[in-house]
Structure 1
Amino acid sequence: MIIELLASMFLLAGCFFMLVASLGVFRMPDLLTRMHATTKSGVLGAGLIMCAVMLFFTESSVTLKALAVMAFTTLTSPIAAHAIGRAGYFIGVPLWKHTVKDALKGRYDAETHVLKSPDPEADDKKS
């Protein structure tokens, strides 16, 4: 009885975070903030749902598979978001009008597709 209640609480919390992730796709103004909302809330929601699965099904094979899903999503979601964000920036997806700083501006050559590293000497001269 207690295990089912605890599993249902994890499941509801996971579904809540997945709902927050889906709302972030519709409510956020640009690609980068949408990706932030979906990766953070999506990974947490999937992790909580997998915790509920581990609690409800106490078999070791199910627990191992749930842990594998949690590890896979935790490791791959930030990498995928970085790759999508970088590709979106380089093809010219516009940033939000209230974006404060564009750290890559002037460092990417669209013809050669080379991203230049920041010059540490230039940064020392600024300060």
Structure 2
Amino acid sequence: MIAALFQYLAALLMVAGAVFSLLAAIGVLRLPDLYTRMHAASKAGVVGAGLVLLALALASGDGPVVLRAILGILFLLLTTPVAAHLLARAAYRAGHRPASFTIVNDLQRETGKTP
């Protein structure tokens, strides 16, 4: 009974993770500039991958697999925002301009110049 419940919950989490991953892919394709695309990939992509790993942990029921899945989720949560921030900062310094509708540009205020 409980095992079947875990299987259904794992399937639901897998579908939710796939939906978030699809939204991240659509965001990368449809959003107007590098910075908003990176935002979509880093936020929705991490949620999608985290939900898929959580589904894996629930479906397996094996202790070492659950531990690896949880460590994978923690690794994603710790590294993806830092990597996205560093890539966006490097892109800004390399001269990639934000979209024309960008209102606040903190890096321009910080450096005093546009890329």
TM over 0.5: yes
Identity score, percent = 39
Moved segments of 4+, more than 6 Å = none
Give the superposition deviation at 1:41. 0.5
User: Which is greater in Rg?
Assistant: 1
Cα deviation, 1:51-72, whole Å, max 9, x if unaligned, reads 1101110111000100111000
Match for 1:15 among 13, 18, 31?
Answer: 18
TM-score (norm 1): 0.82
Distance 2:59 2:109 in 1: 53
- Displacement after TM superposition at 1:106 (Å): 5.4
Matches within 5 A, 1:1-127: 1-105=4-108, 107-108=110-111
Deviation at 1:18, TM superposition (A): 0.4
Cα deviation for residue 88 of structure 1 reads: 0.4
Matched length: 110
TM-score (norm 2): 0.90
Query: Displacement of 1:104 after TM fit?
Result: 1.7
Runs of 5+ unmatched residues, structure 2:
none
More displaced 10-residue stretch of structure 1: 28-37 or 76-85 = 28-37
Higher helix share: 2
Computed over aligned residues only, the root mean square deviation of the Cα atoms, in angstroms, reads 1.4
Alpha-carbon shift at residue 108 of structure 1 (Å)? 3.1
Point out where structure 1 has 5 or more consecutive residues left out of the alignment.
Answer: 111-127
Q: Give 3-state SS (helix, strand or coil) of 1:94's partner.
A: coil
